């Protein structure tokens, strides 16, 4: 009898068995420790990657915010520079207009005085100041009207008429006394001064009312005309291509009130009534096509059937017959019944299988067990299976 047999451990086994179990437990503990250490390292790596990703996201957000602030600051500087430039240009224009007006007054007013000078009627010297001063007084009235948001056109028109009167007097007097060149110069000075200042005030009116520049208005009119041409061409094509849908679209547009003001002439030179025209919108025309053809614009039952047939032909040409059976496919009943004597091809297929295969998968040759609740075989199917199974096999 050995020592291990004389000294069994407390668990009822021998000493060797206890030692083996202890070593096994120690090995399992060491494996668990290694596993835990690996899991801890993996978790630390995952946490480090998550922190790096979060830091990268935070840095990206900070960079985006800094870029957005930089763009806003650059836009603000550009706007400030543009505003300062506009203010400087406006101030320069105002100063130049005022200078020209003063110079024109210096030229035209003395000519007016000489035209009305008469030693026996010295009081007529005040007439030039009235003629020249009325125009500038009216321009001042126009400036006040602009500042107060009132109409100013009548002030400006009166100033222009008064300037023309003064210009006529200077032209007549200057031509008679000093020649035609002096007369024309004096007349121009009487008109240019008020006209220059009126242009300055016109700019203020345009800026206050936010008027669109004439070039922009011309571009918008050209775009509108091109859009009308395109719309007329599309409507003509729709009316010629699908009269039924177009008539229904016209009825719907009339009921929905989709009209536009009439034009005296169409883009093609044909006269049109001056009353409003019924023009169906895209949504209305799509609804009319859906009501007439049951499909979206451009689609009918024939077109859809033709498209499906074409797709089917392409699919057959690329992949072959869609319902062709697979080479190795076998019905489920073939795996549950032996091959008949008059079915050599089936027998050959069964013989070609490896042992433990029934034609579907490796299940030891045993068909799957039918579980409760599944659909049972039909009695005729059971009889046919019994007949097939009773036939002698090779």
* Higher pLDDT pick, 237 / 112: 237
Q: What is the mean pLDDT of residues 47-58?
A: 87
Based on the fold, state whether residues 203 and 251 are members of the same structural domain: no
Is residue 115, in this structure, part of any structural domain at all? yes
* Pair of tokens at residue 41: 């390292």
Its domain, for residue 253, covers 243-301
Based on the fold, state whether residues 173 and 124 are members of the same structural domain: yes
Is residue 201, in this structure, part of any structural domain at all? yes
Q: What is the mean pLDDT of residues 227-236?
A: 87
Instruction: Count up the domains in the chain and report the number.
Output: 2
Based on the fold, state whether residues 110 and 165 are members of the same structural domain: yes
- DSSP letters along 219-233, please? HHHHHHHHHHHHHHH
Provide the pLDDT for residue 372: 65
Cα–Cα distance measured from residue 354 to residue 359, given in angstroms and rounded to the nearest whole number: 9
Based on the fold, state whether residues 114 and 194 are members of the same structural domain: yes
Is residue 151, in this structure, part of any structural domain at all? yes
Provide the pLDDT for residue 194: 84
> What does the pLDDT look like over 175-189, one tens digit per residue?
888 888 888 888 888
Asked if residue 7 has pLDDT above 50, the reply is no
Is residue 374, in this structure, part of any structural domain at all? no
Contact between 39 and 32 (Cβ < 8 Å): no
> What does the pLDDT look like over 185-222, one tens digit per residue?
888 888 888 888 888 777 777 776 666 777 788 888 88
Based on the fold, state whether residues 178 and 249 are members of the same structural domain: no
> What does the pLDDT look like over 72-87, one tens digit per residue?
998 888 888 888 888 8
Structure confidence at residue 273 as a pLDDT band (50, 70, 90): very low
> What does the pLDDT look like over 319-342, one tens digit per residue?
865 554 454 444 555 555 555 545
Based on the fold, state whether residues 277 and 189 are members of the same structural domain: no
Is residue 153, in this structure, part of any structural domain at all? yes
Structure confidence at residue 169 as a pLDDT band (50, 70, 90): confident
Share of the chain above pLDDT 90, in %: 4
- The Cα-based distances of 362 to 346, 359, 372 in angstroms read 18, 8, 23
Provide the pLDDT for residue 319: 84
Based on the fold, state whether residues 210 and 252 are members of the same structural domain: no
Is residue 319, in this structure, part of any structural domain at all? no
In the three-class reduction of DSSP (H, G, I as helix; E, B as strand; rest coil), residue 372 is classed as coil
Based on the fold, state whether residues 114 and 156 are members of the same structural domain: yes
Using the 3D structure, point to which of 301, 322, 348 is the last residue of a domain. Answer: 301
Candidate ranges 8-22, 330-344, 358-372; pick with highest mean pLDDT: 8-22
- DSSP letters along 61-76, please? HHHHHHHHHHHHHHHH
Using the 3D structure, point to which of 301, 323, 349 is the last residue of a domain. Answer: 301
Provide the pLDDT for residue 49: 87
Least confident of 117-131, 146-160, 224-238, 376-390: 376-390
Provide the pLDDT for residue 311: 92
Contact between 335 and 360 (Cβ < 8 Å): yes
Provide the pLDDT for residue 63: 86
Based on the fold, state whether residues 205 and 276 are members of the same structural domain: no
Provide the pLDDT for residue 308: 92
Provide the pLDDT for residue 310: 92
Structure confidence at residue 367 as a pLDDT band (50, 70, 90): low
Structure confidence at residue 379 as a pLDDT band (50, 70, 90): confident
Backbone phi and psi for residue 354, each to the nearest 5 degrees, phi listed first? -75, 160
Using the 3D structure, point to which of 215, 233, 263 is the last residue of a domain. Answer: 215
When the pLDDT of each residue in the chain is averaged and rounded to a whole number, the result is: 77
Cα–Cα distance measured from residue 144 to residue 149, given in angstroms and rounded to the nearest whole number: 9
Asked if residue 22 has pLDDT above 50, the reply is yes
Based on the fold, state whether residues 196 and 256 are members of the same structural domain: no
* Higher pLDDT pick, 377 / 25: 25
Nearest to 269 by CA among 232, 224, 314: 232
> What does the pLDDT look like over 350-366, one tens digit per residue?
444 554 445 555 555 56
Based on the fold, state whether residues 142 and 195 are members of the same structural domain: yes
Is residue 311, in this structure, part of any structural domain at all? no
Is residue 51, in this structure, part of any structural domain at all? no
Among left, alpha and beta (phi > 0; psi -120 to 50; other), residue 367 is: beta
């Amino acid at each position: 009898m050995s020592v291990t047999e004389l000294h069994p451990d407390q668990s009822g086994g021998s000493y060797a068995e206890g030692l083996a179990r202890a070593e096994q437990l120690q090995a399992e503990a060491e494996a668990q420790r290694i596993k835990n250490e690996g899991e801890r390292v993996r978790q630390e790596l995952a946490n480090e990657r998550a922190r790096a990703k979060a830091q990268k996201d935070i840095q990206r957000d900070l960079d985006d915010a800094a870029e957005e602030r930089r763009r806003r600051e650059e836009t603000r500087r550009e706007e400030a520079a543009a505003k300062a430039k506009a203010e400087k240009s406006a101030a320069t224009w105002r100063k130049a207009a005022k200078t020209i007006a003063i110079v024109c007054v210096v030229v035209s007013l003395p000519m007016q005085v000489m035209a009305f000078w008469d030693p026996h009627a010295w009081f007529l010297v005040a007439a030039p100041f009235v003629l020249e001063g009325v125009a500038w007084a009216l321009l001042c009235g126009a400036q006040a009207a602009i500042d107060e948001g009132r109409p100013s056109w009548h002030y400006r028109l009166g100033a222009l008429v008064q300037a023309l009167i003064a210009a006529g007097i200077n032209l007549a007097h200057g031509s008679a006394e000093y020649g035609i060149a002096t007369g024309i110069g004096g007349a121009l000075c009487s008109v240019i001064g008020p006209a220059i200042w009126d242009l300055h005030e016109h700019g203020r009116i345009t800026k206050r009312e936010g008027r669109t520049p004439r070039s922009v208005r011309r571009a918008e009119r050209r775009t509108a005309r091109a859009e009308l041409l395109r719309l007329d061409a599309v409507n003509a094509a729709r009316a010629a291509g699908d009269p039924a849908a177009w008539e229904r679209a016209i009825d719907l547009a009339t009921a929905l009130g989709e009209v536009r003001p009439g034009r005296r002439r169409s883009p093609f030179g044909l006269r049109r009534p001056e009353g409003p025209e019924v023009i169906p919108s895209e949504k209305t025309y799509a609804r009319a096509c859906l009501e007439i053809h049951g499909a979206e614009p451009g689609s009918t039952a024939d077109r859809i059937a033709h498209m499906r047939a074409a797709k089917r032909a392409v699919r057959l040409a690329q992949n072959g017959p869609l319902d062709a059976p697979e080479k190795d496919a076998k019905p489920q009943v073939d795996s549950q019944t032996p091959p008949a004597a008059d079915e050599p091809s089936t027998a050959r297929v069964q013989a070609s299988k490896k042992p433990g295969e029934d034609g579907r998968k490796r299940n030891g040759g045993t068909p799957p067990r039918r579980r409760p609740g599944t659909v049972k075989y039909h009695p005729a199917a059971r009889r046919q299976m019994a007949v097939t199974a009773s036939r002698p096999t090779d």
